[in-house]
Structure 1
Amino acid sequence: MNELKHTTIKPISKDNLMKLAKKYGTPIYIYDSCKIQEQYEKMNNAFSRIKKLRINYACKANTNPNILKILKKMGCGLDTVSIQEIEIGLKVGFLPKEIIFTPNCVSIKEIEKAVGLGVRINLDNLSILEQFGELFKNYSIGIRINPHIMAGGNKKISVGHIDSKFGISYYQIPHIKRILRNTGLKIEGIHMHTGSDISDINHFITASEILFKTAIDFPDLDYLNLGSGFKVPYTQKDLKTDLIYLSNCITNKFNDFCNVYGRKISLIFEPGKFLVSESGYFLVSVNVIKHTISTVFAGVNSGFNHLIRPMFYNAFHYIENISNPKGRLRFYTVVGYICESDTFGINRKISEIREGDVLCINNAGAYCFSMSSNYNSRYRPSEVLILNGEDFLIRKRETMQDILRNIVEINMERWQSG
């Protein structure tokens, strides 16, 4: 991959997006490496007063190896949640010690594989912790704590509340200590993550205070891990996490903790959406304009098989008509071609849409392609990366061969004759 150049960040123009749509076809995901670089540097600079800061990219947001290579070049580590994500990270060139594996509800066998690969591991289950301690007494691990905080854009992306499946309740610290005494297991880190799309700084501050209070009782820590959850804006007027104010609060509290703890340890953040969401554009073509008694639909050549967030999370993605940007504003409900309701936006004011126009769905860099599927036997789209002003195809559009690759056909004649 070419060396990254530091440039003034400007959004990709509508004209350039149209050129890419014509060159590669639609539907297509496009990622701007400059925006990814800008977001990483913004976070790195905000927390610059923390001497041992580490930023690990939550790669579930977008696991394309080329995205991972960009972040690795900038000095990022990796947050993974599956053995497959670990393997992708190692293949890209991350060192095992640069990868943290924080699984949830996986078997001890998958965790054994992670041990074999040498990565750092966070456990969030007392049963697995006990099994791990019996198998790997000399392998230091981290513990994921549940702080009982309801935070995030909605309940589906809130993962630190009392009924969440994630983390060990911080009220169960005595149970953790009992397992450590019985097994001799060593704890190198305490981890916490409360949710995504958090704009209320108080949620981060409350979580950090619980984290610091918990950590003080573990004398051999190498790091504390605050996860992420920073909210990015989906419109110009949308709320976002005030990173500067947050960094001042967290930095002061963390440095005070280190003074009480008696030595400097690392503080880790694991942003996913914050680093890549705003870098992404999803381009689709309009198949039909359909009028009903009360609604004008713009039906496009995509659906929740490609971008499920609006349907699954009720997420808002700004939609614009890049092939007719100066057209008269009208109201449209933008829908897909899946055989059940798949709505990208309801009653949106968009420049007049005609059949054949290209629409751009913004903030499509995180949890978009990575959550795509072959539902309705549709092909997953291609991906393009803009790197130093050049466009590179980083994933081919699927074909029927991809759909059928792992199918094993049986001999139906034998079944009929039986």
Structure 2
Amino acid sequence: MELKKGKYLLSGDVDPLELAENYGLPLYIYDSAIIKRQIDRFNNAFSVKKMKLNYACKALTNINILKLMKKWGMGLDAVSIQEVRLGLHAGFKAKDILYTPNCVGLLELSEAVKLGVKINIDNLSILEQFGDHYPEYPVCIRLNPHVMAGGNSKISTGHIDSKFGISIHQLPHIHRIVETYGLKINGLHMHTGSEILDTEVYLKVADILLNTAEEFKDLDFIDFGSGFKVSYKNDGIETDMEDLGIQLSQKFTSFCAAYGKDLTLVFEPGKFIVSEAGYFLTRVNVVKQTTSNVFAGVDSGLNHLIRPMFYNAYHKITNLSNTEGRKRIYTVVGYICETDTFGVNRKMSEISEGDVLCFHNAGAYCYMMSSNYNSRFRPAEVLVHDGKAHLIRKREKMKDLLRGQVELNL
């Protein structure tokens, strides 16, 4: 969705204001053309003999999005057994799903074994239990490189205090478990967190992982995770994928030559693939002026889009109803009985009650983190694909709030 001739357009010239009228507000919209663009950009950035992109589906698991990922050659990165089952339902083959849980018990891993997916283990206790029960089942190991990466401490996962991964300093213990139970280690994995901007930091982590891989003689793949930064302010500040692709491709190719085998280079992009493809539309309920602020209060809140409150995440906000109006300063807030502020002191086209506001970069971790807080309904989702809009999730109703509750005769 970009500004053209005073009008915001989705691919195929689909008018978002018409979608708002047809499907109601609040509303999530996803543009498949942008998803495909991001997949192609990622694939084109790297030049190695074998590469696989596994979509980190926790970003957005609508079944239609998963089907598009499969259609366009993606594998799947799943962090729960439910995501594994969603992937299988969407048509992914078990061999194309990598299950990377955190702090789950052996019971859930046993389910994954039955389903036949690839398994990634990130702690010594479970690795030992897994080896005792399933010594013949190949397994990947998630390592923690002790590198602080990314622009937000809440989503950095490779530092020394992180709960994710087995410490790189515990390699001797890993080897003891592997040798004791005769485990086949088919892959190594690292993921240091999101919002990685500095190519050199990523290459530093790559060196750690590749050096470690030399100690495992029967690998099939090496998974470098993801965490690539997208531009939230349309300022072009993002991971330079093309530069990273050139440097990491050279490094990986040299490693494979020395290793004596062409391993598969694996990534698990989520936000990079779907963030820019998503838009969240809301209606302005009230414009409220106080002694210090002009608030634009919308028909949504942290129940629908919690990232600004949870991560201090920035989402560009535009007024679709008045794209050419004079600029004024607003603080955009929600209708939840909490301090649910979307953006402070935003310079925007003048807002009137009833206007439709658009939150950009709403494809990743937005609908997925929504809730029924304040007993509010979750919004509908629409997919724009091949120039046409398709409803892919219905707006919730009162029966959805009551579903699953057991009402006693009190």
Bucket of the pairwise TM-score, normalised by the shorter protein: over 0.9
Matched AA of 1:196: S
Select the residue among 198, 201, 224 that pairs with 1:200.
198
SS at match of 2:89: helix
Identity score, percent: 60
Within-5 A mapping of 1:290-305: 290-305=288-303
Other-structure match for 1:276: 274
How far apart, in 1, do the equivalents of 2:179 and 2:262 lie?
A: 25
- The offset of 1:310, in angstroms, is 0.4
Counterpart residue number, 2:285? 287
**Match runs of 1:16-415 below 5 Å:** 16-47=15-46, 49-412=47-410
Figure out how many residues of one structure are paired with residues of the other and give that number: 402
Which secondary structure does the structure 2 equivalent of 1:175 belong to?
helix
Task: Show CA shifts across 1:319-363 (max 9, x none).
Answer: 000001111100000000000100111010010000000000000
1:289-314 per-position Cα deviation (integer Å, ceiling 9, x unaligned):
10110100000000000000000000
TM-score relative to the length of structure 1: 0.95
Hey, what's the Cα distance between the residues in 1 that align with 2:12 and 2:74? 28
1: distance between equivalents of 2:371 and 2:49?
42
Q: Is the CA contact (8 Å cut-off) linking 2:14 and 2:387 kept in structure 1?
A: no
Shift of 1:13: 8.9
Gaps of 5+ in 2: 1-8
Shift of 1:411: 2.3
Contact 1:14-1:322 within 8 A present in 2 as well = no
**Match of 2:32, as an amino acid?**
S
Query: Residues 143-200 of structure 1: CA distance to partner in whole angstroms, max 9, x if unpaired?
Result: 0000001111211010000010000011101000000111111100000000001111
- TM-score for the superposition, normalised by structure 2: 0.97
Amino acid at match of 1:243: M
d(CA) in 2 for partners of 1:12 and 1:320? Answer: 18
User: What amino acid is the match of 1:392?
Assistant: H
SS of alignment partner, residue 392 of structure 2: strand
CA drift of 1:374 comes to: 0.4
* Change beyond 3 A, Cα 1:241–1:337: same
- Displacement of 1:238 in angstroms is 4.4
How far apart are the structure 1 equivalents of 2:181 and 2:234? 53
Q: Which runs of 5+ in 1 are unaligned?
A: 1-9, 413-418
User: Over residues 191-240 of structure 1, what are the superposed CA-to-partner deviations in whole Å (9 max), with x where a residue is unaligned?
Assistant: 00000011111111011000000001100000000000110001221410
- Cα 1:185–1:14 shift into 2, 3 Å: same
**Structure 2 Cα separation of the partners of residues 352 and 387 of structure 1:** 32
Aligned CA RMSD, in angstroms, stands at 1.1
Letter in 2 for 1:40: I
Provide runs of 4+ in structure 1 moved above 2 Å.
Answer: 10-15
Q: CA deviation at 1:409?
A: 1.2
